[in-house]
Amino acid sequence: MNPKFFNQLGLAMRAGKLVTGDEGVFKAIRSGEAKLVIMAEDASANTRKKFQDKCQFYGVTLMEIATKYELGRSIGKEMRVTIGVLDGGFAQMLQKSQENPAEVEHIDQ
């Protein structure tokens, strides 16, 4: 997994630009506050469908990445299935870090 992505997610949390939990994220999507929704890859099929449909309807980008434990750990919480990013700058930064995961790959010697 990309450590840069998780560091940036933690930074967004400390800046107060994230919302977590199904209801909080749904509310942010409906109100237009959510610029990006991050969902755990191991989310249930029902949760996955609900968020895919809601994000598609409201035109919010949805990223499926990591496990719910990795997402929670990166923001200093227990496990988290969904995270809403409320700031456009953070949303763009997180998406770019997934497009270019690492500038330098690990070298095995």
User: pLDDT value at position 102?
Assistant: 54
Residue 1 has pLDDT above 70, yes or no: no
Q: Which residues face 83 on adjacent strands?
A: 20, 38
Tens digits of residue pLDDT in 51-107: 999 999 999 999 999 999 999 999 999 999 999 999 999 999 999 988 765 555 555
* Strand, coil or helix: 6: helix
Q: Where are the domains of the chain?
A: 1-96
pTM above 0.75, yes or no: yes
Tokens of residue 16, six digits: 């107060």
Task: Quote the CA–CA distance of 9 and 27 in Å, as a whole number.
Answer: 20
Task: Quote the CA–CA distance of 75 and 79 in Å, as a whole number.
Answer: 10
Q: 1-96 is classed in which CATH architecture?
A: 2-Layer Sandwich (3.30)
Residue 24 has pLDDT above 90, yes or no: yes
